[in-house]
Every structure is written in structure tokens, then in C-alpha cells.
Amino acid sequence: MPKVAIVGATGAVGLEIIGLLEQRQFPVTELLLYASGRSAGDELPFEGRQIKIQNLASADFKGVDFAFFAAGSLISKEFAPKATEAGAVVIDKSSAFRMDPDVPLIVPEVNGDLLNDNHRLIASPNCSTIPLVMVLWPLHQAHKIKRVVVSTYQAVSGAGRAAGDELVSQVVAMLNHQPMEVRVFPHQMAFNVLPHVETFSPSGYSTEEEKIIEESRKVTGLADLRITATAVRVPVLNGHSESINIEFENAADPDQVREILKNAPGIQIMDDPVDAVYPMPLEASGRDEVLVGRIRKDLSVDFGINLWLSADNLRKGAGLNAIQIAEQILKIHHLD
């Protein structure tokens, strides 16, 4: 029975991890919750008891088996090495180590077989990358992917807990014809769309777009995967969606794609548009599965498919994926 620590316990992903540990009955002997000094001393409920939040600055990871890092990448860079040195297996949600060649970047359904007993630090990909590779990977096995063009429709929860509050308060202000506060996002998010997720590189790409491209390549092991991305924030509280165009090397018709994805782990097909059945963020929010639909032929290339997905960016896009990594490691230990 492992001792578990959560770093960034009060954030959107941290809270999701606490809830998921409970829901999935992850075997926990002891749960340590770490956050900034601001939250230290507060309590959060877990399995019927209240757990005191401790100041990360004075964290002691001795005896911790799994440390879930769900704070920013600066926090991970500073504290993850301390946790691994103390003997913990760190599962890091931040971008700090994702592209480090020595760190496995894992989506269990795609490349979980890379995990082994010796890994002390495992990275979990970006919230847009995870559902994307879960769709691309099984399709690539069957039809070999030539090129991918993806445009995202990302919820504000991906920007942290304050972002949802800001969206709601902006909506309230607007409906009451009052001035609104614009703080988390660079522009009004209420009733607006921003082609801006995270920060921009000189290349003109946002870091979110670069992550989608680079992390997809690393997770699938397709180092030369031809993929481009446009990341967009929409006024949705939770649940990311993606419009995905895939060009294949080999013939792939919508029925084949539907069949492959129906049998792929972690994916649920919702594809009956005539009856208004398709993935939506509102539908995906709170669910484990990546919802996939709108599967149809793209006639602009020889072997093309358009499809659409929605997934809970805090769950499969973050907390759930991290816990599934830990579950897989537990399984390896049990097999040993």
C-alpha cells in the first residue's frame, strides 16, 4: 500500500487527482497534500477524513511512494528532484521534463509499455496532446498516418481555477452592463474566442501548439510525424475539443476508423450526427473517456479523414492520466 503525495493539491488538477484517487480506490496508506504557504494549514477531504495541507517549501518526501506533481513547471523543476532523491516515483503533470530524452512521456493506452521499475520520474503530456495521441495511435497501427492538422477548442479550466471564476464573473458583468475584470486572460473571454493558449514563441506558434506537435511525436515514437496545430481558447468552463484532419498512407474509410476507435482503450464513439449525437465538452466533462465523433471522409486527399473529439482536460487530459501511470507502475511491481 503506497504512501502518496500531491504537490499543487489545491489547484484544478490537484483537486481532480484527490477525487480520482478516491473514485478509483487507488490504494493509499497515507496522503500528503502540498501547496504554497498560502494554503498551508487548510484542509481538504479525502476518504471521509480531513487532510491538512502542508507547505511545499518544507516538504519531506521520505517514505513517499508516488508523488503527483500538479503545480507549474518551475515547482516541478525545483521539487521533483528532491522527491526522486528521497525515493519517490514522481509523476509530473507539468511541462518541465516532458521533452527530456531521459524522461518517459507516457499515455498508458499508447506507450505504457515503456514504463519499467527503474523509472523515478515520469512525465504526463499536455491536456490537448493526450486525447489526440489516443486517437492517432490506434489509427496509425492500421493505416499509417501521413499528416495531421489539428485545431483545438480549449476550456478555461486548463488555465487554472481562477480562469473559470474570471469567465463566470465576466459573463455576469456583461449581462449586467458592468465593467469587467480581465486578468487571467489577455482579453475578455466571455462570449469571445482567443487563438492564444499559453505564450508565444518567435516562430509565431504558441507554446501550447508546440507542445501538441512535439509531445505527440514523443509519445507515439513517430519522431518525424508531420503534424501542425492551432490552439484556441473558447468560453467553455471544462472540456477540451479538437477538430482533427488526418491524411493516411493507406486507404481508410470512416467505418474502419470507427471500428478501430471503438476497440481502442479509453475511447468512446459518439457518432450519429443526424440525431445530434457527437462529442461536446459539456458531455465529456466529468467522464474518463475521450469522446470521438463526426468521423467522415476528407475528399481533399486520397486517404483523408476528419474527426472531432472532446475530453475532460482535467481528467484524462491531466489527473486521470497521471493516476493511470501510477496504476501501471503498481501493476509492474506486483508482477515482479
**DSSP E strands, the chain:** 3-7, 30-35, 43-46, 49-55, 66-69, 89-92, 121-123, 145-153, 227-230, 240-248, 267-269, 290-298, 304-311
Cβ(245)–Cβ(304) below 8 Å: yes
At which residue does the C-alpha cell 473514485 appear? 23
Cβ(318)–Cβ(70) below 8 Å: yes
Q: How do strand 43-46 and strand 49-55 relate by DSSP bridges?
A: antiparallel
Number of Cβ within a 10 Å radius of residue 191: 11
Site for its own copies in 191-220 (CB under 8 A): 191-196, 200, 203-206
Q: Give catalytic status of residue 240 as yes or no.
A: yes
Q: How far apart are CA 135 and CA 144, in angstroms?
A: 13
Smallest separation (angstroms) from its own copies to the CB of 245: 5
Q: Does 300 bind its own copies (CB under 8 A)?
A: yes
Q: Does 162 bind its own copies (CB under 8 A)?
A: no
Site for its own copies in 220-259 (CB under 8 A): 226-228, 230, 232, 234-237, 241, 243, 245, 254
Smallest separation (angstroms) from its own copies to the CB of 273: 4
Q: Does 179 bind its own copies (CB under 8 A)?
A: no
Work out which of 138, 279, 317, 319 binds its own copies, going by CB under 8 A.
Answer: 279
DSSP string, 51-112: EEEEEGGG---TT-SEEEE-S-HHHHHHHHHHHHHTTPEEEE-SSSSTT-TTS-B--HHHHG
Q: Which long-range contacts (CB under 8 A, 24 or more apart) does 171-175 make?
A: 171/235
Cβ(153)–Cβ(258) below 8 Å: no
Nearer to its own copies, 37 or 273 (CB): 273
Smallest separation (angstroms) from its own copies to the CB of 294: 5
Smallest separation (angstroms) from its own copies to the CB of 4: 32
Look up residue 19 and give its DSSP letter.
Answer: H
| Binding residue count for its own copies, defined by CB under 8 A | 57
Work out which of 3, 77, 82, 297 binds its own copies, going by CB under 8 A.
Answer: 297
* Interface segment toward its own copies; rule CB under 8 A; list 41-49, 117-125, 134-142, 271-279: 271-279
Q: Give catalytic status of residue 177 as yes or no.
A: no
Order of strands across the sheet that contains 30-35 = 43-46, 49-55, 30-35, 3-7, 66-69, 89-92, 121-123
Smallest separation (angstroms) from its own copies to the CB of 67: 33
Binding string, 306-325, against its own copies, x = CB under 8 A? x-x-x---------------
Q: Does 299 bind its own copies (CB under 8 A)?
A: yes
Smallest separation (angstroms) from its own copies to the CB of 36: 27
Work out which of 187, 262, 331, 333 binds its own copies, going by CB under 8 A.
Answer: 187
Nearer to its own copies, 57 or 282 (CB): 282
Q: Which residues, at least 6 apart from 11, have a Cβ–Cβ distance to it below 8 Å?
A: 35, 70, 71, 160, 161
Q: Which residues bind to its own copies, rule: CB under 8 A? A: 147-149, 151, 153, 168, 171-172, 175, 186-188, 191-196, 200, 203-206, 226-228, 230, 232, 234-237, 241, 243, 245, 254, 273-274, 276, 278-282, 293-301, 304, 306, 308, 310
Q: Which residues are catalytic?
A: 127, 240
